[in-house]
Amino acid sequence: MNSLPKINLDRLQATIDTMAGIGAKENGGCCRISLTDEDKLGRDQFVTWCREAGCGVHVDAFGNIFAIRAGSRPDNAVVLTGSHLDTQPNGGRLDGIYGVLAGLEVIRTLNDHGVRTERAIAVVNWTNEEGARLSPGLTGSSGYAGDLDLSLARRIVASDGARFGDELERIGYAGTFSRRALDPIAYVELHIEQGPVLEQHERTISVVEGVQGVRWYEVELRGSDRHAGTTPMADRQDSFMALARIAQSMRQAVLAIDPDVRFTVGRVSVQPGSPNTVPGFSSFSIDLRHQSTGLLNRIENVLAAKAHAIGIEEGVETAICRTMIVPPIEFDKSIVETVVSIAQSAGCPSMRMNSGAMHDACRLSKVTRTAMIFVPSRLGISHHEDEWTAPDDLEAGANVLLRTITSLADQTERQLNVVAAEDVISAHPRSLER
Ligand SMILES: [Zn+2]
């Protein structure tokens, strides 16, 4: 293990700095929103670097860019890594970008040391992960995974009225590369954590086992509009007071089931919204997340029971409706274990984790063996100019990626198939609903 080459941190940081200069903001962050002029410049720079590193560069119809370093056996399926170069309007310089440029650094390092892998290695920049201008995000990876039809994607309208397809052509990244020409044996995405857990546990590497399932609910409470001065407290059907009690008791009940649950009330509506009227109608949203479908089902029943019981006490009618469901994703167990042992042998303190955020890897998990690696984010800050990761952590993450990618690229088909046969549960995770 120690004889393997290591990445060049100075070069990786200089590459990240150069990319951060395209769409640079005054406080060190970056605004390189998908399919804008800045995105085109960032893409052009990435393509130039990849060609300089000897890669063949290809673009598909969704604008995804694939830079391929040939392996010694051209008939073998490739190992894919990467992430996204687009940012939020006030984004940082690492979210997504680190994963793409660390992939490039892996290729440069293999070149430096004359290492030839059996399989080809490809680095990808997925189009419009963030969805900041063209919503929803994950457009490129969804298209690649067959979750999004090209004609539908091309009709996505940006917040400024432009269309995805027109913008892709305008910046010169509507390509013809076919997914069939690149049937990856595995996809590994390196990313900053975007949360505080690694930092709090003083670990360098997180091996991501999966992505939390998400469920959205809308809760409606119907009481009666009444005069705020003339209606005695005992005679009210106050929808807001019911809402406050229900939301609070739901949070308590959920935390008692598992402190790892994420429960958020992010939107509240109170009507008629007048200071001197007891509100007759209130509603609120719930965003609920956890890794276990069984536990999410159980919590769903508890939420309904709490709303019903408190509604009766408060004299209001309650209705709870599920408006969205995204099942949890499990990443490939064999790659997860490979990353765990690589981090261990590299002396990196690591931990297993589930991701609370969606990533391109969620889409890729539908079509190939997939895993993710996280490095710490200072204070958990992301989608913000203050996003920062210590250089040592950037280096450790890129070295773990290097070893993971080369290990996968040198495994024979037989070795991979044996692993796959032992791992039927995670090899084909469920697809996402939108
Ligand atoms: Zn990202």
The domain covering 9-211+328-427 belongs, at the CATH homologous superfamily level, to Zn peptidases (3.40.630.10)
What b-and-e string marks burial along 234-259, b requiring 16 or more CB atoms within 10 Å of the CB?
eebbbbbbbbebbbebbbeebeeeee
pLDDT band at 147 (very low <50, low <70, confident <90, very high): very high
- Give residue 191 CA to ligand 1 midpoint distance, Å: 7
Do β-strands 369-375 and 205-211 pair in parallel, antiparallel, or remain unpaired?
Answer: antiparallel
> Do 374 and 191 meet the contact criterion of CB atoms below 8 Å apart?
yes
Is residue 71's pLDDT more than 60? Answer: yes
- Give residue 359 CA to ligand 1 midpoint distance, Å: 6
The pLDDT tens digits of the residues spanning 337-359 come to: 999 999 999 999 999 999 988 99
Give yes or no for a cis peptide into 89 (omega within 30° of 0): no
Return the structure tokens found at 46.
Answer: 């990435």
- Give residue 138 CA to ligand 1 midpoint distance, Å: 10
- Give residue 129 CA to ligand 1 midpoint distance, Å: 7
- Give residue 194 CA to ligand 1 midpoint distance, Å: 8
When comparing pLDDT for 84 and 434, which is higher? 84
pLDDT band at 412 (very low <50, low <70, confident <90, very high): low
pLDDT of residue 136: 86
Is residue 426's pLDDT more than 70? Answer: no
- Give residue 189 CA to ligand 1 midpoint distance, Å: 10
Is residue 430's pLDDT more than 90? Answer: no
Q: What is the mean pLDDT of residues 177-186?
A: 90
d(CA 395, CA 297): 41
- Give residue 316 CA to ligand 1 midpoint distance, Å: 43
- Give residue 150 CA to ligand 1 midpoint distance, Å: 22
Contacts of 206 (CB under 8 A, 6+ apart): 193, 197, 198, 350, 351, 352, 353, 373, 374, 375
Is residue 433's pLDDT more than 90? Answer: no
Q: What is the DSSP letter of 185?
A: S
> Do 361 and 150 meet the contact criterion of CB atoms below 8 Å apart?
no
- Give residue 250 CA to ligand 1 midpoint distance, Å: 31
Is residue 288's pLDDT more than 70? Answer: yes
> Do 286 and 250 meet the contact criterion of CB atoms below 8 Å apart?
yes
- Give residue 358 CA to ligand 1 midpoint distance, Å: 8
Residue of 358, 357, 389, 384 lying closest to 89 (CA atoms): 384
- Give residue 239 CA to ligand 1 midpoint distance, Å: 39
- Give residue 82 CA to ligand 1 midpoint distance, Å: 11
pLDDT band at 198 (very low <50, low <70, confident <90, very high): very high
> Do 416 and 343 meet the contact criterion of CB atoms below 8 Å apart?
no
Residue 270: strand pairing partners: 282
- Give residue 335 CA to ligand 1 midpoint distance, Å: 20
Long-range contacts of 44-49 (CB under 8 A, 24+ apart): 45/18, 45/19, 46/19, 46/85, 46/100, 46/104, 46/125, 49/15, 49/104
Q: What is the mean pLDDT of residues 307-315?
A: 98
Is residue 326's pLDDT more than 70? Answer: yes
Could you tell me the residue ranges of all domains in the chain? 9-211+328-427, 213-326
- Give residue 95 CA to ligand 1 midpoint distance, Å: 5
The pLDDT tens digits of the residues spanning 30-40 come to: 999 999 999 99
Residue 67: strand pairing partners: 57, 123
When comparing pLDDT for 135 and 406, which is higher? 406
pLDDT band at 75 (very low <50, low <70, confident <90, very high): confident
Average pLDDT, the chain: 93
Q: What is the DSSP letter of 400?
A: H
Is residue 419's pLDDT more than 50? Answer: no
Do β-strands 268-271 and 213-222 pair in parallel, antiparallel, or remain unpaired?
Answer: unpaired
- Give residue 221 CA to ligand 1 midpoint distance, Å: 37
Longest dimension (CA), the chain: 85
- Give residue 51 CA to ligand 1 midpoint distance, Å: 24
- Give residue 130 CA to ligand 1 midpoint distance, Å: 7
- Give residue 356 CA to ligand 1 midpoint distance, Å: 12
pLDDT of residue 415: 61
pLDDT band at 413 (very low <50, low <70, confident <90, very high): low
pLDDT band at 180 (very low <50, low <70, confident <90, very high): confident
pLDDT of residue 422: 44
The pLDDT tens digits of the residues spanning 110-126 come to: 999 999 999 999 999 99
Q: What is the mean pLDDT of residues 312-330?
A: 95
pLDDT band at 51 (very low <50, low <70, confident <90, very high): very high
Express as a percent the part of the chain with pLDDT over 70: 94
Return the structure tokens found at 118.
Answer: 């059996």
Return the structure tokens found at 422.
Answer: 């032992």
Q: What is the mean pLDDT of residues 266-285?
A: 97
Q: What is the mean pLDDT of residues 410-433?
A: 46
- Count, in order, helices (H) and strands (E) of the chain: 14, 16
pLDDT of residue 417: 52
Chain centre distance of CA 270? 33
pLDDT of residue 311: 98
d(CA 271, CA 136): 30
- Give residue 220 CA to ligand 1 midpoint distance, Å: 34
- Give residue 427 CA to ligand 1 midpoint distance, Å: 23
Chain centre distance of CA 113? 32
- Give residue 16 CA to ligand 1 midpoint distance, Å: 15
213-326 CATH, one of 3.30.70.20, 3.40.50.2000, 3.30.300.20, 3.30.70.360: 3.30.70.360
Exposure of 264 in the CB half-sphere (CA atoms within 13 A):
10
Return the structure tokens found at 314.
Answer: 């408060």
Q: Do 9-211+328-427 and 213-326 agree at the fold level?
A: no
- Give residue 278 CA to ligand 1 midpoint distance, Å: 44
Q: What is the mean pLDDT of residues 203-230?
A: 96
Q: What is the mean pLDDT of residues 366-391?
A: 96
Contacts of 22 (CB under 8 A, 6+ apart): 30, 32, 38, 41, 42, 45
- Give residue 297 CA to ligand 1 midpoint distance, Å: 29
- Give residue 33 CA to ligand 1 midpoint distance, Å: 12
pLDDT band at 164 (very low <50, low <70, confident <90, very high): very high
- Give residue 97 CA to ligand 1 midpoint distance, Å: 8
- Give residue 173 CA to ligand 1 midpoint distance, Å: 20
pLDDT band at 420 (very low <50, low <70, confident <90, very high): very low
d(CA 224, CA 239): 8
Is residue 423's pLDDT more than 50? Answer: no
- Give residue 193 CA to ligand 1 midpoint distance, Å: 9
The H or E element that residue 216 is part of is: strand 213-222
Residue 288: strand pairing partners: 215, 263
- Give residue 84 CA to ligand 1 midpoint distance, Å: 6
Between the alpha carbon of residue 297 and those of residues 213, 324, 325, the distances in Å are 11, 14, 11
> Do 350 and 204 meet the contact criterion of CB atoms below 8 Å apart?
yes
- Give residue 185 CA to ligand 1 midpoint distance, Å: 22
- Give residue 93 CA to ligand 1 midpoint distance, Å: 11
